[in-house]
A and B are shown apart, each in its own frame.
Chain A
Amino acid sequence: MPDIVTPALIYILGALIALSIRNHMTRGIVLLATPIAALATFVTLPYANYGSFPLFDLHLGFLRIDALSYVFALVFSLAAFLSLLYAWHIRDRLEQISTLLYAGAAIGAVFAADLVTLFIFWEGTALASVFLVWARRTEGSYHTGLRYLAIQIGSGLLLLAGVVLHYQDTGSIAFGYMELDSLATWLILLAFGIKCAFPLLNNWLQDAYPAATLTGTVTLSAFTTKLAVYALARAFAGTEYLIYIGAAMAVLPVFHATIENNLRRTLAYSLNSQLGFMVVGIGIGTPLAIDGAVAHAAASTVYQALLFMGVGAVLYRTGSDKASELGGLFRSMPLTFAFCVVGAFSISSFPFFSGFISKSLILSASGDTGHVLVWAALIFASVGVLAHTGLRIPYVMFFGRDRGLKAEEAPRHMLIAMGIAAALCLVIGIWPAPFYALLPYPVAYQPYSFGHILTQLQLLAFASFAFALLVRFKLYPADLRSINLDVDWLYRRFLPSLIGLIGQEARYAWHGLTRAGAYRLKRALVLIYRMHGPQGALARTWPTGSMVLWIAVLLGITLCLAYL
Chain B
Amino acid sequence: MNRIIYILGALCLALAAADLFRERHGDFAVESAPLIWCAFGFISYVAIVFAAKALRRLVLRPEDYYGRDSIDAEETEARDA
Q: Is the CB of A383 within 8 A of B60?
A: no
Which of B52, B72, B80 contacts A259 (CB under 8 A)? B52
Q: Is the CB of A462 within 8 A of B12?
A: yes
Complex: how many Å from CA A470 to CA B16? Answer: 20
Collect the chain B residues with CB atoms within 8 Å of residue A368's CB: 27
Complex: how many Å from CA A216 to CA B36? Answer: 42
Closest to B56 in A: A259
Complex: how many Å from CA A370 to CA B26? Answer: 11
Complex: how many Å from CA A455 to CA B18? Answer: 10
Q: Is the CB of B60 within 8 A of A484?
A: yes
A138 vs chain B, min Cβ distance (A): 5
> What band does the interface of chain A fall in when counting residues whose beta carbon is under 8 Å from B?
35 or more
> What is the interface of chain A mostly: helix, strand, loop, or mixed?
helix
Which of B4, B40, B48, B81 contacts A214 (CB under 8 A)? B81
In B42-75, which residues have CB < 8 Å from any A CB?
A: 42, 44-46, 48-49, 51-53, 55-56, 58-63, 65-66, 68-74
Collect the chain A residues with CB atoms within 8 Å of residue B52's CB: 254-256, 258-259, 477
Q: Is the CB of B45 within 8 A of A386?
A: yes
Which of A210, A383, A480 contacts B45 (CB under 8 A)? A383
B16 vs chain A, min Cβ distance (A): 7
Collect the chain B residues with CB atoms within 8 Å of residue A78's CB: none
> What is the interface of chain B mostly: helix, strand, loop, or mixed?
helix
Collect the chain B residues with CB atoms within 8 Å of residue A484's CB: 55-56, 59-61
Collect the chain A residues with CB atoms within 8 Å of residue B27's CB: 364, 367-368, 370, 375
Number of residues from B at the complex interface, CB < 8 A: 58
Q: Is the CB of B69 within 8 A of A458?
A: no
When each residue 24-43 of chain B gets 1 if its CB lies under 8 Å from chain A and 0 otherwise, what string results?
Answer: 00111011000101111110
B76 vs chain A, min Cβ distance (A): 7
Closest to B61 in A: A483
Complex: how many Å from CA A401 to CA B80? Answer: 25
- Please judge, given known A-B contacts A140-B71, A454-B19, whether A462 and B42 are in contact too, CB under 8 Å: yes
* 12 CB < 8 A contacts A-B: A136-B71, A143-B70, A375-B27, A383-B45, A454-B18, A460-B41, A461-B15, A465-B5, A468-B4, A472-B5, A483-B62, A484-B59
Chain A residues in contact with chain B, CB under 8 A?
89-90, 92, 135-141, 143-144, 207, 210-211, 213-215, 254-256, 258-259, 262, 315-322, 364, 367-368, 370, 372, 375, 379-380, 383-384, 386-387, 450-451, 454-472, 475-477, 480-486, 492-493
